[in-house]
Amino acid sequence: MNFFDKALDLDSADEGHLRGHTLPEWANMVGPFGGITAATLVRAIEAQPDVHGQPVALTVNYLAPIADGDFDIHTRAVKTNRSNQHWIVELSQDGEPKTSATAVFGLRRDTWADTEITAPQAPAPAEIERAQSPFGVVWFDNYDLRFVDGAMPVHGAASDSSTTTLWVRNNPPRPMDFASLTAVSDIFYPRAFLRRGHFMPAGTISMTVYFHAGAHEIAAQGDGFVLATARAQRFSRGYFDQSAQLWGRNGTLLATTHQIVYFKD
């Protein structure tokens, strides 16, 4: 079992209630990597006996830093319809809420389909050098990241663009599923770092992921790289937004994600 699956290893306490434990291998600057927290919430819903369909949408609100140690997750199916199911999820420690989420699961049917946007042009991952972990961020080592553009800023060099594009896969390689796709949706460092050319206090407040691919399309990615690209729209009064897309090697749009992030400069 690799560190990703160990982080998602939850014990069932009673109906809708699971217990988990943070891992030092997923430590971020404050608390664990937000992507692994979001992935854990998806896995908690997937583990429920009455789950209906596959993930369609997830919104995670990061209320307070998660401390090292045990945590509780409570899940509740609010409404189940013929096609979709709505969930409320809360992660807490010692009775204090740390993360809340809403999720929509649904049945996917064959329909007319089209993708209007296109994936950015990028050389193959083998042609790009693997990025090294910045300033001792531990969770970074659980991924193989290869920046096409918009790499971590160095030497205080500011950028006119907030766009980052990179190839990413789990390290060690692991087959893609909904949980790992959720985690990768939060793979980008804060866009303010790139624009300003230096690191600063920053953190995601809320993240939404829309899953466009079904389980079979995600499984078809195997344990290979996916292409991820992100940009901000506006930086203002201590907050900025971020929009991103995650693409399979075969050109399939797997997910889109949107965040609101606070920063201090």
Confidence of residue 157 (pLDDT cuts 50, 70, 90): confident
Residue 134 near residue 140, CB atoms below 8 Å: yes
Question: Percent of the chain at pLDDT above 70?
Answer: 100
Predicted confidence (pLDDT) at residue 136 exceeds the cutoff of 80: no
Is 64 inside a domain boundary?
A: yes
Q: What is the pLDDT of residues 56-90, one digit of tens each?
A: 999 999 999 999 999 999 999 999 999 999 999 99
Predicted confidence (pLDDT) at residue 135 exceeds the cutoff of 80: no
Is 57 inside a domain boundary?
A: yes
Instruction: Supply 128's token pair.
Output: 């790009």
Kindly compute the dihedral angle of the four CA atoms of residues 212, 218, 224, 228, in this order, to the nearest 10 degrees: 10
Is 115 inside a domain boundary?
A: no
pLDDT at 144: 97
Is 127 inside a domain boundary?
A: yes
pLDDT at 155: 76
Domain range for 99 is 3-108+122-263
pLDDT at 172: 95
The CA-based angle 128-249-247, given to 5 degrees, is 100
Residue 8, exposed/middle/buried by CB under 10 A (0-12, 13-18, 19+)?
Answer: buried
- Domain count of the fold of the chain: 1
Which CATH number covers residue 80? Answer: 2.40.160.210
Q: What is the pLDDT of residues 8-21, one digit of tens each?
A: 999 999 999 999 99
Count other C-beta atoms under 10 Å from residue 44's C-beta.
Answer: 25
Is 246 inside a domain boundary?
A: yes
Is 159 inside a domain boundary?
A: yes
Predicted confidence (pLDDT) at residue 210 exceeds the cutoff of 90: yes
Is 95 inside a domain boundary?
A: yes
pLDDT at 101: 98
Predicted confidence (pLDDT) at residue 132 exceeds the cutoff of 80: yes
pLDDT at 118: 96
Mean pLDDT of 11-36: 95
Is 73 inside a domain boundary?
A: yes
